[in-house]
A = this chain, B = another copy of it.
Amino acid sequence: MIVVMKPGSTKEQIDHIVEDIHQMGLRSQVIVGTDRTVIAALGEKRDGAKEALETGNGVERVVPILAPYKMASTEVKKEPTCVEALGLKIGAGRIGVIAGPCSVESKEQILQVADSVREAGAAGLRGGAFKPRTSPYSFQGLKEKGLELLALAREKTGLAIVTEVMAPEMVPLVAKYADVMQVGARNMQNYPLLEAVGETRLPILLKRGPSATMDEFLLAAEYILKTGNSRVILCERGIRTFEDHTRFTLPLATVPYLKQTTHLPIVVDPSHGTGKANLVSPMAVAAIAAGADGLIVEVHPDPEKAVSDGYQSLTPPAFQKMIAECRKVAQALGKKMA
């Protein structure tokens, strides 16, 4: 850390900070500049040192040097991680596709979608059984019945089931059915939930919160990694900005940034990332071009009849066409896509 003192800070204030640094078990180095003094704190300490120092008298600000996360970092593990669940392989050169409806609605619906996305090349089936909905008046999901239908679809197609869990006490139930447990964007910083899903040892798809920085995103992953579960898939699904022509803003530069920063695989959700069916396909192709390890896409046999998210769902033929384009781009760039 670098502690920047205010101009005119006193010798006592500087000595005091130096002492604080030593008490933290860190070394210090004082740098006297033209206008102000700067103190370097050397050594590794990630818990609260910055916060403690920046309240010191005479301190203007504290600049951290180390990334705040550790186990997620490429500094700790250089080789990219591949997360697998049944036939779904994501990361370390493997591009995996997860597709399916926003909500599981009926046996017919989920089996029909499962068939069509498997045929198009998906290896994972998404589908919400417990749905976090902005309004309490919206459809909240089929709950356990939905999980049973997902299991049935897996039996028929071999697809890995990816489904969301919303509270720690629901983890055991969802874990009975899911191959990959999803932590939704609204719950990215729901720490008891992160710890609970981590304990299951199942692969976890962690969605970025719509106002999370990269550090916050990777620290949320770190909560899971810290339980001993290293099977974390990061998911970029768009951030909240002033833009109003899309539902969220999909910042694809997070893909190459994360490839350089973490060993964890990163998938992109162009459905939530745009919120408009006619923008999903170009953004899926762009995500692959940017280096994404996978995609998660909403597909519905009849979007107009979907109980949720129909406006951003692809029909099975549109999804098939999208996958074909993604595959061409992946091949052009020398990557493997199932």
Q: What mask results when residues 224 to 255 of chain A are scored 1 for a CB within 8 Å of chain B, else 0?
A: 00100000000000011111111001111111
Q: A191-B132, A303-B55 are in contact. Are A46 and B241 (CB under 8 A)?
A: no
Task: Please determine whether A239 and B250 come into contact, CB atoms closer than 8 angstroms.
Answer: no
Query: A166: CB under 8 A from chain B?
Result: yes
A226 nearest CB neighbor, chain B only? B136
Task: Please determine whether B286 and A287 come into contact, CB atoms closer than 8 angstroms.
Answer: yes
* A291: B residues at CB distance < 8 A: 282
Which residue of B42, B51, B240 is within 8 Å of A308 (Cβ)? B51
Task: Please determine whether B223 and A51 come into contact, CB atoms closer than 8 angstroms.
Answer: no
The residues in A between 38 and 54 inclusive whose CB is less than 8 angstroms from any CB of B are 38, 40, 42-44, 46-48, 51-52, 54
Query: A9: CB under 8 A from chain B?
Result: no
Q: How many residues of A contact B (CB 8 A)?
A: 111
Q: CA of A2 to CA of B279 in the docked complex: distance in angstroms?
A: 23
Q: What mask results when residues 43 to 71 of chain A are scored 1 for a CB within 8 Å of chain B, else 0?
A: 11011100110111100000101101110
A residues touching B (Cβ–Cβ < 8 Å)? 2, 4, 7, 29, 31-36, 38, 40, 42-44, 46-48, 51-52, 54-57, 63, 65-66, 68-70, 75, 132-139, 166-170, 186-187, 189-193, 209-211, 213-216, 219, 222-223, 226, 239-246, 249-257, 260, 273-274, 276-279, 282-283, 285-291, 303-311, 313, 325, 328-329, 331-333
A132-B191, A170-B192 given; 6 more Cβ-contact pairs under 8 Å: A31-B42, A51-B309, A54-B310, A136-B226, A214-B244, A329-B332
User: Which 7 A/B pairs are nearest by Cβ-Cβ distance?
Assistant: A211-B211, A289-B289, A55-B310, A332-B332, A286-B290, A167-B192, A186-B189
